């Protein structure tokens, strides 16, 4: 994963080698989504519409929407429903919006279609009833003021009508100054009459503006409102899988341990003679819960190691080791350097020694952090055996420098990969340069 871009082939290899882990993440994400549905799923939702008759200003409509979700209306609705709930609990389940046409839309949600319908209808009814009570509190004063306004307007209309009639009789059809003034006065009086009539109409409209009508019963919902239980479960599973994929890609990108044969050979200043498979062995002590879980979901080894087909049987595996020894161009004894704590490499060295036959291989454990290689004038050089994906470039450079300090040439490297015997495929020898 040292490239700057992530290829689709890498994603495909990740899915193939981490499918158990991704399935476990999907199940975990589904469980988290199911738990989130208990908190965030709105259940069933429906609406009820209330028509406000008469002309209304925009701020008046917003005020009416706030009244519809006020504590007084919700408390009355909770008391009338008899659900053993309070208005404060209904506040998160009820909302009101204003639409075109002087309509206040009341939305209600509940855990069942019947309750959602009942809640919407009850809140709408209590909203209309409470608004009517607010208006009726000032009915007498408002009616008296409206009556006085109407009487005054009617008197103005009567006086103006009389003046128009009188002037109409006095005006002749000539073009004298007096006739022109008379016509001007008549026009002004007619304007006053029209204004008085408009005022009367506005007063009548204001008198009927307080009326509200519920536009039918709320519809019973046929399905849950989004996000539903299924959507949350599917979304949680998909989200966790994506997090797992990107997390694995990011971890592989930031991991400095070398996997590629060319990179390992360049760090050691030599070439990789071959890659060998090492069957996994059961640990002597029982592994902990974390180790068992990692083995179960196959996260106990890097997923981006190069492909290596496991040997079909023991003779095939020994043949692979003999080919590696054959490529080791040295007649004198060879130092075999094995990093400390690399169990697969130690098991591979046992097979290499057996495959070496008459050749002398001297096995030396070295510390990757502070490597020390012993001096040996009879040794032809050093052979490094390590597991792919376990050492960084600086650790391998340190081993190569330790070999140079001891006067040894790095003859090559052998990479090991632990394999599970249950996944052994058809025999196929894959070594560097083969």
pLDDT of 334-360, one tens digit each?
999 999 989 999 999 999 999 888 888
Tens of pLDDT, residue by residue over 374-390, are: 998 889 899 999 999 99
Where, residue-wise, is CATH 3.30.1890 in the chain? Answer: 42-226
pLDDT of 424 above 50: no
Average pLDDT over residues 120-125: 93
pLDDT tens by residue, 177-216: 666 677 677 777 767 776 766 676 666 555 554 578 888 8
Query: What is residue 172's predicted lDDT score, i.e. its pLDDT?
Result: 56
- pLDDT score recorded for residue 425: 43
Residues 6+ apart with CB under 8 A from 321: 276, 348, 351, 352, 354, 355
What is the residue-averaged pLDDT of the chain?
Answer: 83
pLDDT single digits (tens) 73-83: 999 999 888 88
Torsion, Cα 391 397 400 405, to 10 degrees, reads -130
As a whole number of angstroms, the distance between CA 309 and CA 424 comes to: 8
Asked whether residue 64 carries a pLDDT value surpassing 70, the answer given is yes
Its CATH architecture, for the domain 42-226, is 2-Layer Sandwich (3.30)
Assigned fold of 258-423 = Rossmann fold (3.40.50)
Within the chain, which residue ranges are assigned CATH 3.40.50? 258-423
């Amino acid at each position: 994963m040292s490239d700057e871009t992530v290829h689709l082939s890498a994603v495909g290899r990740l899915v193939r080698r981490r499918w158990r882990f991704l399935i476990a993440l999907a199940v975990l994400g589904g469980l988290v989504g199911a738990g989130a549905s208990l908190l965030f799923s709105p259940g069933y939702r429906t609406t009820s519409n209330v028509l406000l008759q008469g002309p209304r200003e925009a701020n008046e409509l917003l005020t009416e929407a706030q009244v519809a979700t006020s504590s007084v209306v919700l408390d009355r609705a909770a008391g009338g429903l008899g659900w053993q709930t309070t208005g404060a609990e209904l506040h998160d389940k009820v909302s009101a919006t204003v639409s075109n046409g002087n309509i206040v839309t009341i939305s209600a949600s509940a855990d069942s279609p019947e309750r959602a319908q009942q809640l919407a209808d009850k809140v709408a009814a209590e909203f209309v009833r409470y608004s009517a009570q607010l208006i009726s509190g000032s009915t007498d004063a408002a009616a008296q003021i409206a009556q006085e306004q109407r009487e005054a307007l009617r008197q103005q209309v009567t006086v103006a009508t009389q003046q128009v009639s009188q002037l109409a009789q006095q005006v002749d059809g000539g073009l004298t100054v007096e006739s022109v003034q008379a016509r001007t006065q008549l026009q002004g009086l007619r304007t006053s009459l029209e204004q008085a009539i408009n005022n009367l109409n506005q007063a009548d409209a204001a008198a009927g503006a307080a009326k509200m009508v519920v536009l039918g019963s709320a519809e019973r919902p046929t399905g849950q409102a989004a996000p539903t239980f299924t959507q949350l479960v599917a979304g949680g599973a998909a989200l966790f899988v994506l997090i797992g994929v990107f997390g694995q890609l990011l971890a592989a990108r930031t991991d400095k341990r070398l996997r590629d044969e060319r990179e390992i050979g360049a760090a050691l200043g030599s070439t990789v003679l071959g890659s060998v498979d090492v069957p996994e062995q059961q640990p002597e002590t029982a592994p902990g819960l974390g180790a068992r879980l990692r083995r179960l979901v196959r996260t106990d080894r890097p997923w981006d190691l190069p492909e290596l087909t496991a040997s079909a049987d023991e003779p095939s595996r020994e043949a692979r080791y003999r080919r590696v020894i054959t490529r080791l161009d040295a007649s004198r004894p060879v130092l075999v350097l094995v990093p400390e704590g690399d169990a697969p490499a130690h098991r591979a060295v046992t097979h290499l020694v057996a495959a070496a036959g008459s050749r002398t291989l001297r096995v030396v454990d070295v510390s990757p952090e502070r490597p020390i290689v012993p001096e040996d004038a009879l040794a032809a050089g050093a052979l490094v055996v390590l597991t792919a994906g376990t050492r960084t470039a600086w650790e391998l450079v340190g081993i190569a420098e330790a070999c140079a300090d001891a006067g040894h040439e790095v003859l090559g490297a052998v990479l090991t990969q632990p394999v599970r015997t249950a996944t052994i495929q058809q025999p196929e020898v894959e070594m560097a340069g083969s």
